[in-house]
Amino acid sequence: MIESPQEAIGFEPLPTEDPDSTINKDPEDQASRPPYITASFRRTLKLLQSVGGFRGRFRGFSIFVVNAMLAQWIASILTFIPFVPRGVAGVIAAVILAQFSLAWTQIVISEPSPKTWFRRLPSAKTWRKVAIPTAVLAIAEQIAVLVPLYLAMVAGLTQDAKVIAHLSPHERTMMSLEGFGIFALGVVLSFLLVVPANVTLTRVQASLLPDTEETIVPFDRSFAGKVIPEIVGGSGAIGMLDAWKTFDWSSRIRLVKAYAKVFAIQTVVTILFAICLVSQLFIIVGKDLSKVFPDDDNKDL
């Protein structure tokens, strides 16, 4: 989400009229451009291991877990307040802990530091710079989850398994189609709402990385000149709209491919575990599944 092409952060010489000069020639004619590190999981893992050893693959894990636990705890407390829905409580918790998310992003993208994660928490004044994009992402996540969930409830997909078992083949087919449609809607909402909001928040957080810290991938800190440093009267952070606009289409495609790879890996792992589980089930009970799933007429087995 933050890796920039080398030419975006490199030195750009002034044009020249000399036809023999190589300054103005297309860089692709001189040499092939270096590939994006994050375009390959293998290159990304090699990079993480080169900067932090084997533990580099888990950089930021401690603060990630702490942030998740605190968010769950705060959201649970807020739900005890009358008229505060669970979704709203989750958004409020995410905004309150915006600095933890900011610190996690900066730890992941920067060179290793001898400081512990709680010493790398940004100052309180940075909270207002990430509060709004954090809220936008949290709201997008709630919409992407709750809308399909409510549609599934309306469509009757959350009925008891015994009720579904007594449906006719046509009713089961229609229910399967409805389920697929709701799943597809959830995927579309995720890509249209959650992914852009996540990219925007991450790039805003990256723009707040202190000048004393270096990133582990090429990164244009100026965001094509959109970031105005505080020392000259700017905010020192990129705006939400500029954060998304400066994320070019090649980077968007690379990110979508990464999501697709993760989804494929999760699907394969899920199928393998399901095969193992079913195989063990048949080895233990054989074909007599009533021992595991007794019906109403055979409850004592």
Q: Each residue of 43-59: pLDDT tens digit?
A: 999 999 998 888 888 99
Query: d(Cα 237, Cα 234) in Å, to the nearest integer?
Result: 8
**pLDDT confidence of residue 293:** 55
Tell me the backbone φ, ψ of residue 160, rounded to 5 degrees. Answer: -65, 145
pLDDT at residue number 13: 47
Quote the pLDDT of residue 31.
53
The residue ranges of the chain whose pLDDT is under 50 are 11-14, 21, 29-30
Range of the domain at 143: 6-15+24-247
Q: What is the DSSP string of 210-237?
A: -TT--BSS---TTTTTT---GGGTS-SS
Residue 293 within any structural domain of the chain: no
- pLDDT of res. 287: 61
The alpha carbon dihedral of 178, 182, 183, 187 has a sign of positive
| 1 and 255 Cβ atoms separated by less than 8 Å | yes
For residue 279, the model assigns a pLDDT of 86
Q: pTM of the entire structure?
A: 0.81
- Contact residues for 214 (Cβ-Cβ < 8 A; gap 6+): 110, 111
pLDDT, position 165: 65
> Does some domain include residue 158?
yes
Looking at the structure of the chain, the number of domains it has is 1
The answer to the question of residue 255 being in a domain is no
DSSP state of 32: P
The pLDDT value recorded for residue 82 is: 83
pLDDT score for 12: 47
pLDDT of residue 74: 95
What is residue 158's predicted lDDT score, i.e. its pLDDT?
Answer: 73
| CA distances, 247 to each of 84, 143, 193, 252 (Å) | 35, 23, 15, 7
- Residue tagged 């998310």 (tokens): 101
Phi-psi region of 168 (alpha: psi -120 to 50; beta: other; left: phi over 0): beta
Longest dimension (CA), the chain: 93
Produce one character per residue of 278-299: b if its CB has 16 or more CB atoms within 10 Å, e if not. eeeeeeeeeeeeeeeeeeeeee
pLDDT of res. 283? 80
Backbone φ and ψ of 110, nearest 5°: -105, 165
State residue 123's pLDDT score.
87
Question: 120 with 107: CB under 8 angstroms?
Answer: yes
Query: How far from chain centre, in Å, is Cα 52?
Result: 22
Residue 296 lies in a domain: no
- Mark out the alpha helices in 79-168 (DSSP H runs): 86-96, 98-109, 127-155, 161-165
Write out the two tokens for 191.
């890509």
> Considering the domain boundaries, does residue 190 fall inside one?
yes
* DSSP-assigned letter for residue 208: T
Q: Is 294 a member of any domain?
A: no
Q: What pLDDT is stored for residue 11 in this prediction?
A: 46
In a domain, 214, yes or no: yes
Structural domain includes residue 93: yes
